[in-house]
Amino acid sequence: MVTYIVRRLFTAVLILLGASFLVYQLTALSGDPLADLRESNQPNKEQLIQQRVELLNLDVPAPLRYFRWLGGAAQCLVPFVGSCDLGFAINGQPVTEALGRAMGMTILLVTGAAILAVVVGVCLGIVTALRQYSTLDYGVTFMAFLFFSLPVFWVAVLLKEYAAIGFNNFLREPHIPPATIAVIALVSGILWYICARGTVKRRLLAAVTGFVLAAGILWALSVTRWFSTPGLGLAVILIAGVAIAFGATTLAAGLKNRRALYSALAAVAVGLVLYFPLQPLLAQATTLMIALLAIATILVGIGIGYLMGGYDRRQNINAAAITAVLVAGMVLLDRYMQAWPAYFGNSRINGRPIATIGSETPNLRGDYWVQGLDTFTHLLLPTIALLLISLASYSRYARSSMLEIMNMDYIRTARAKGLGERTVVMRHAFRNALIPIATIVAFDIGGLIGGAVITERVFAFAGMGQLFIEALVRVDPNPVMGVFLVTGIMALVFNLIADLLYSALDPRVRVKV
C-alpha cells in the first residue's frame, strides 16, 4: 500500500513538472504583454516598456524564465522556511497573497453549491431509480439535462434579471396578484401529480391537494405581508417539526419502531421548549456559539435516543438526532428571519436585498445575523446557477449506480429472507450505491478549488477563476502559474484520495501491491 502511494506521488510530481512547463510556455506565448504600450503615443513610451520588461523579466526567453519561476516555487516545498516565492503579478502584488485571497473567495462561493448539489442530486437519483420509467423519472431526467445544457452565463443573467432585480422590485410592494398565485398553484398541482403514485384518481387528488396548498400558502404570505416581516413562529416549527419527526423516523427506523418515533417527537418538543429561552442567547450570537449549539443539538438528539432505550437504541438515536438538527435549523432560520427587517431597512441595502455582484455589501455594519443575511443574499444567485448545472451529473450517477445495485443478487436475497422494503433500500442498497458517488465527489472537490471561471466573472466574484482569466488576458504568467499549481496539486491529490477511498469502501476492490 505504502509503495503504491509513494509511486503515485512520484508520478504526480513528474506530471506537475511537465504540465507546469507546458502551461508556463503557453501563457507566456499567448500574447504580447507590451501590446498596449506599443500602441501608445505617450512621450515616455520607451521608459514604460523598459519598466515592464524589467518587472516581468521579458528580456529572458520564456523557457528560461520558467526555470527562474520554478526556482522560487520549489522553495514552497521546503517546510518551515516560509520563503515561498511564486513571483509577482503585473500590478506588483505577490502571487502567494493573491492566491490565498482568491482561494478563500472560491471556497466561499462553491462550498454551498457543492454540498447542495451532492445532497439534492443523490436524492433525486435514488428516487428516480426506485421509480424507474415513471413520469417522475422522465421529468427529472428531462429537467436535469435541460439545466445541464444551459450555458451558465445565460442562466446567471436571467437569474439576475428575475430573481434579483425582479424580486427586489416585488419586495417594494410585496403583494402577490391572484393571477400569479393561480399560475404557481397550477405548477405545484402538476408537480404533485407527477410525484404521486398509484391510480389516476389518486394522482388527481394529489394534484388538487398541491394546488390548494400552494394557493393557500401564497395567499397567506401575501395577505400577512410575510415578505416584509418574515418569520416561522412556533406554530410552523411545531407542524413542520412533527412532519420531520415522522419523515426521519420512516427513513432511519421505520414507523413501526414506536420508540424511534417517540424519540424524534421528543426532540421536536425539546426544540419548542427551548425556543424562547434561546432567543436572548442568540441575540449575542457568534460563529463559535452557533457551532457549539450545533454540537449540543446533536448531543441532545443522541441523549434522547439513548434514554428512550429499547432493543435497538441506534435507530432511536438516528431518528432523534436527525430531527433535532433539522428542528434546530428551523429555529436558526427563524432567527435570521427576525433580523430581516433590520437588514432590509439598512441604508446601504435600501430595500433591494438580493445582490447581483460580489460577496458582501461594502461597509455594511450589523450584527451576526445581518452579516449572515448579507452573505446569503450575495451567495444566493451564484449558488443557484452552479447548483443547476452540477445537479445533472450527480443525479445521473446516483440513479445508474442505484439501479445497478437494485438488480444485484444480494438485494434479491434480502427480499427473499423477508426484509421490509425500507431496510432493503436504506440499509442494503443505498449504502452500496454511494460507493461510486464517494469517489466522484472526492474528485470534484479537487476541481472545485480551481474556481468557476464564468460564474465568478458574471457575479464579479474575485476567486481563482477570475484571478486566472484576468492574468491570462494581461499575459501575466505568474498568477496563472499560481492558480495552475494549486488546481494541479488538488486534482492529483484528490485523484489519489478517490482511488484509495474506493478500495477502502469496497472490499471487492483491493489495490495490488
Partner 1 sequence: MRFGRYSKAIGVAAVAALALSACASAGGGAESTGEASATGGTISVAEVNAFSSFNSDTAAGNVDVNGKVAYMTRGGFYHIDNELNVVRNEEFGTYEKVSDDPLVVKYTVKEGVTWSDGDPVDAGDLLLNWVAESGYANDAKSNEEGEVTSGTNYFDYAGDTSGLGLTEIPEIGDDGRSITLTYSKPFADWEIAFGGLQDGGIGMPAHVVAEKAGLADEQALIDLINGLKRGDAEKPAKPNAELKAVGDFWNTGFDSKSLPGDTSLYLSSGPFIVDSVTPDQSITLVRNDSYNWGPKPSIDEVTIRFIGAAPDQVQALKNGEVDIIAPQPSADTVELLNAIDGVTVNIDDQLSYDHLDLNYSGVFADADVREAFMKSVPRQAIVDRIVKPIKEDAAPLNSQFFVPAQEAYTPSAEGNGSSAYAEPDIDGAKELLAGKTPEVRIMYNKDNPNRADAFSLIQESAEKAGFKVVDGGLGASDWGAALGKGGYDASIFGWINSGVGVSGVPQIFRTGSGSNYNGFSDPKADALMDELMVTIEPAEQDKLITQIDKIVWDSFYGLPLFQAVGLDAYNSDRVEGVVYQPNQTGVFWNFWDWKVKGE
For partner 1, the binding residues in 292-351 under the rule CB under 8 A are 292-293, 296, 339, 342, 345-348, 350
> How far apart (Å, rounded) are the C-alpha atoms in residues 62 and 409?
60
Instruction: Rule CB under 8 A: choose which of 11, 75, 91, 180 binds partner 1.
Output: 91
* 27: amino acid identity, one letter: T
For residue 88, the cross-strand partners are: 94
CB of 206 to partner 1, least distance (A): 38
- List strand residue ranges (DSSP E) for 303-379, in order: none
- Residue 389 CB burial class (10 angstroms; 0-12, 13-18, ≥19): buried
Instruction: Rule CB under 8 A: choose which of 421, 460, 509, 510 binds partner 1.
Output: 460
Any contact of residue 132 with partner 1 (CB under 8 A)? no
Interacting residues with partner 1 between 187 and 246 (CB under 8 A): none
Any contact of residue 41 with partner 1 (CB under 8 A)? yes
How many chain residues touch partner 1 (CB under 8 A)? 82
- The closest alpha carbon to 89, from 463, 494, 478, belongs to 478
Instruction: Rule CB under 8 A: choose which of 93, 132, 224, 413 binds partner 1.
Output: 93
Binding-residue pattern over the window 248 to 287 for partner 1, x denoting contact by CB under 8 A: --------------------------------xx-xxxx-
Angle at 68 between CA 10 and CA 16, to 5 degrees: 25
Instruction: Rule CB under 8 A: choose which of 313, 352, 415, 422 binds partner 1.
Output: 352
242-256 in b/e form (b: 16+ CB < 10 A) is bebbbebbbebbbee
Any contact of residue 368 with partner 1 (CB under 8 A)? yes
Instruction: Rule CB under 8 A: choose which of 105, 140, 330, 480 binds partner 1.
Output: 105
CB of 59 to partner 1, least distance (A): 4
Query: Is residue 486 within 8 Å of residue 474, measured between CB atoms?
Result: no
Instruction: Rule CB under 8 A: choose which of 49, 116, 184, 204 binds partner 1.
Output: 49
Instruction: Rule CB under 8 A: choose which of 39, 235, 416, 512 binds partner 1.
Output: 39
Any contact of residue 151 with partner 1 (CB under 8 A)? no
As given in the structure block, the three cell numbers for residue 215 are 394557493
> How far apart (Å, rounded) are the C-alpha atoms in residues 154 and 222?
30
Residue 482 half-sphere exposure toward CB, CA atoms < 13 A: 31
Any contact of residue 54 with partner 1 (CB under 8 A)? yes
Q: Which stretch binds partner 1 (CB under 8 A): 53-61, 245-253, 395-403, 411-419?
A: 53-61
Q: Which stretch binds partner 1 (CB under 8 A): 112-120, 160-168, 434-442, 489-497?
A: 160-168
Interacting residues with partner 1 between 492 and 511 (CB under 8 A): none
Angle at 87 between CA 86 and CA 90, to 5 degrees: 135
Any contact of residue 172 with partner 1 (CB under 8 A)? no
Q: If you count them, how many residues does the chain have? A: 513
Please measure the distance between the N-terminal and C-terminal CA atoms of the chain and give it in whole angstroms. Answer: 6
Nearer to partner 1, 220 or 289 (CB): 289
Nearer to partner 1, 56 or 238 (CB): 56
Binding-residue pattern over the window 14 to 33 for partner 1, x denoting contact by CB under 8 A: ----------------xxx-
Any contact of residue 396 with partner 1 (CB under 8 A)? no
- Residue 109 CB burial class (10 angstroms; 0-12, 13-18, ≥19): buried
Interacting residues with partner 1 between 440 and 459 (CB under 8 A): 457-459
CB of 272 to partner 1, least distance (A): 18
Any contact of residue 53 with partner 1 (CB under 8 A)? yes
Query: Is residue 205 within 8 Å of residue 222, measured between CB atoms?
Result: no
For residue 94, the cross-strand partners are: 88
- CA 9 to centroid of chain Cα atoms: 29
> How far apart (Å, rounded) are the C-alpha atoms in residues 32 and 474?
8
Instruction: Rule CB under 8 A: choose which of 6, 7, 44, 138 binds partner 1.
Output: 44
Nearer to partner 1, 98 or 252 (CB): 98
Nearer to partner 1, 3 or 347 (CB): 347
Any contact of residue 48 with partner 1 (CB under 8 A)? yes
> How far apart (Å, rounded) are the C-alpha atoms in residues 374 and 336?
11
Dihedral over Cα of 398, 110, 380, 356: its sign: negative
- The closest alpha carbon to 452, from 469, 439, 476, belongs to 469
- The closest alpha carbon to 275, from 199, 330, 317, belongs to 330
